[in-house]
């Protein structure tokens, strides 16, 4: 699976977090939902929890909703952490290079061409490809360079 927050491939679990901002006679709700890796799960949980604890109490309805959101967030966090604990973390796979890297990147040729046409730096495109598709940065740079040569 892929984390919806950082887009890294790896173990991810679904969670939904909410926080409330009380404004005496009004209130506002914010939420985040998706599949999160362990790091993003903790970051999102603490973001919403701290907002609930500091900004959630200011109003009659907000006082009650803050408790509801805190309990709900803790429930989602514990459930997702349990799910992530059951998932075996696989040994890191070395980044692909050569023919294997070309095969992994070939479906994204159109996206790369569009990013280059929009004026994005080839080094940034290559770095994103390498990070998202588990290929070496050299292989991604060669792929981007070959598409640039074809376009010229």
Residue-range definition of the domain harbouring residue 26 = 13-86
- Residue 93 within any structural domain of the chain: no
- Residue 135, CA atoms < 13 Å, CB-side half-sphere: 26
**Residue 135 gets which letter from DSSP?**
B
Q: Are residues 66 and 40 in the same domain?
A: yes
Per residue in 67-124, pLDDT (tens digit) is 999 999 999 999 999 999 876 656 667 777 788 888 888 999 999 999 999 999 999 9
Whole-model pTM over 0.85:
no
pLDDT cut 90: percent of the chain above it: 54
- Residue 2 within any structural domain of the chain: no
Residue 31 has pLDDT above 80, yes or no: yes
What DSSP assignment string belongs to 47-75? HHHHHHHHHS-SBHHHHHHHHHHHHHHHH
Give the number of domains in the chain. Answer: 2
Q: Are residues 27 and 70 in the same domain?
A: yes
Select from 86, 111, 138 the last residue of a domain: 86
- Residue 5 within any structural domain of the chain: no
Can you read off the two tokens belonging to residue 142? 């060669």
Give CA–CA dist 47/29, Å, rounded: 14
Q: Are residues 47 and 74 in the same domain?
A: yes
Q: Are residues 53 and 80 in the same domain?
A: yes
Per residue in 41-73, pLDDT (tens digit) is 999 999 999 999 999 888 888 899 999 999 999
Contact indicator for 19, 51 with CB cutoff of 8 Å: yes
Contact indicator for 12, 3 with CB cutoff of 8 Å: yes
């Amino acid at each position: 699976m892929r984390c919806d927050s950082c887009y890294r491939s790896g173990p991810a679990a679904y969670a939904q977090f909410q926080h409330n901002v009380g404004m005496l006679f009004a209130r506002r709700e914010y939420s985040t939902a998706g599949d999160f890796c362990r790091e993003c799960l903790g970051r999102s949980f603490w973001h919403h929890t701290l907002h609930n604890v500091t900004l959630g109490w200011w109003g009659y309805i907000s006082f009650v909703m803050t408790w509801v959101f805190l309990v709900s967030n803790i429930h989602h966090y514990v459930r997702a952490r349990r799910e992530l604990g059951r998932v075996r973390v696989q040994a890191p796979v070395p980044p692909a290079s050569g023919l294997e890297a070309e095969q992994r990147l070939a479906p994204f040729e159109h996206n790369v061409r569009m990013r280059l046409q929009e004026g994005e730096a080839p080094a940034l495109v290559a770095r994103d490809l390498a990070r998202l598709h588990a290929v070496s940065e050299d292989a991604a740079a060669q792929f981007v360079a070959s598409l640039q040569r074809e376009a010229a």
